[in-house]
Amino acid sequence: MLRVIDYYSPTAEFYDLVGVQRWTQSDPLLATALTGTDTAHGPVLDLGAGTGRSTEVIARALPEARVLAVEPSPAMRAALTSRVVRDEELRRRVTVVASSAQEVELPERLSAVVICGVLGYLDRAERAALWGRLLPRLPSGAPVVVELMAVKVPQPVAPMRIARQRLGEQEYEAWLSGEPCGPDRMRWSATWRVLRDGEAVREIDVTHEWYTFGLEDLAAETGLTAKQLTPELGVLLR
Ligand SMILES: C[S@@+](CC[C@H](N)C(=O)[O-])C[C@H]1O[C@@H](n2cnc3c(N)ncnc32)[C@H](O)[C@@H]1O
């Protein structure tokens, strides 16, 4: 039986708070990777759309595109819907679907696919099944933009603070550490901390398991041409 673990609902409230710092660099690159997409072919699929950060970048980069935003986590989807409904353009062009990479019902044709921060939750067989469904729907030249974790081989990663953000009288911190939990898998432990006057007033720990692989592995799986844009972000061309 398929079990998509909802790693994200317990910490969805923190996602945009700490993400915004990273996204100022990666959003323009994601937008550039999509430039020139023929959006007449079908909607652009945003798989694992989260709170809608990637959805919004797609919609702004491709002003004619319809966007199919698929997100399984109820809390993340609440933020996604909230983002979409407040913007007339997004409201008109973005369809939000509660589903997963494994189960989503796809339209006959797609113009492009964006899979940011998601593919490592799928094992090799699930990825193969996904490629088998996605690739025939894309025209020649269409981009499949992927964002992975920079760690491509299981290895211990010492705790590091990955983000900090102030909101009103409180500060928010995200900490991450990792350890191998299989020949091609990492267990990542994240701690989200809320501080007031330097004292932690709330702390939430979550662990995620993530298959490790790189863009070149995806190129081999798909037969597509790969272009690495940053250590995390890359594009595969149909
Ligand atoms: C790191 S977030 C990325 C969100 C968004 N794409 C972005 O770039 O900000 C990963 C998202 O993938 C979703 N996710 C996890 N497993 C998934 C699956 N099997 N299929 C689709 N989405 C999944 C999570 O719920 C979460 O919202």
* C-alpha neighbours within 13 Å on the C-beta side of residue 36: 8
Nearest CA to ligand 1 atom 14: 48
169 DSSP 8-state letter: T
Residue-wise pLDDT for 202-215, tens only, equals: 999 999 999 999 99
Give the separation between CA 235 and CA 143, rounded to whole angstroms: 6
Ligand 1 center to residue 76 CA distance, Å? 9
Residue 128's CB is within 10 A of a number of other CB atoms, namely 12
The mean pLDDT of 35-48, rounded to a whole number, is 96
What's the whole-number mean pLDDT along residues 158-175? Answer: 95
In this predicted structure, what is the pLDDT of residue 1?
60
- Buried b / exposed e along 160-173 (16+ C-beta atoms within 10 A): eeebebeeeeebbb
Q: How far apart are CA 224 and CA 218, in angstroms?
A: 8
Residue ranges matching CATH 2.20.25.110 in the chain:
157-211
* CA angle 117–21–7, rounded 5-degree value: 35
4 lines ligand 1 (CB under 6 A): yes
In angstroms, how far is the first alpha carbon of the chain from the final one? 31
Q: Is 72 in the pocket of ligand 1 (CB under 6 A)?
A: yes
Ligand 1 proximity of 53 Cβ (cutoff 6 Å): yes
50 CA from centroid of ligand 1 (Å): 5
Which residue has the CA at smallest separation from atom 25 of ligand 1?
A: 73
Render pLDDT for 75-91 as a digit per residue (tens, 0 to 9).
999 999 999 999 999 99
Contact by Cβ (8 Å): 75, 101 = no
- 100 C-alpha to ligand 1 centroid (Å): 9
Q: Does any ligand 1 atom lie closer than 6 A to the CB of residue 54? A: yes
> Is CATH 3.40.50.150 the right assignment for the domain spanning 9-148+213-237?
yes
pTM assigned to the model? 0.95
Integer Cα distance of 139 and 164 in angstroms: 41
Query: pLDDT tens-digit profile of 102-147?
Result: 999 999 999 999 999 999 999 999 999 999 999 999 999 999 999 9
**157-211 is classed in which CATH architecture?**
Single Sheet (2.20)
Q: List, by residue range, all CATH 3.40.50.150 domains of the chain.
A: 9-148+213-237
C-alpha of residue 199 to centroid of ligand 1, in Å? 31
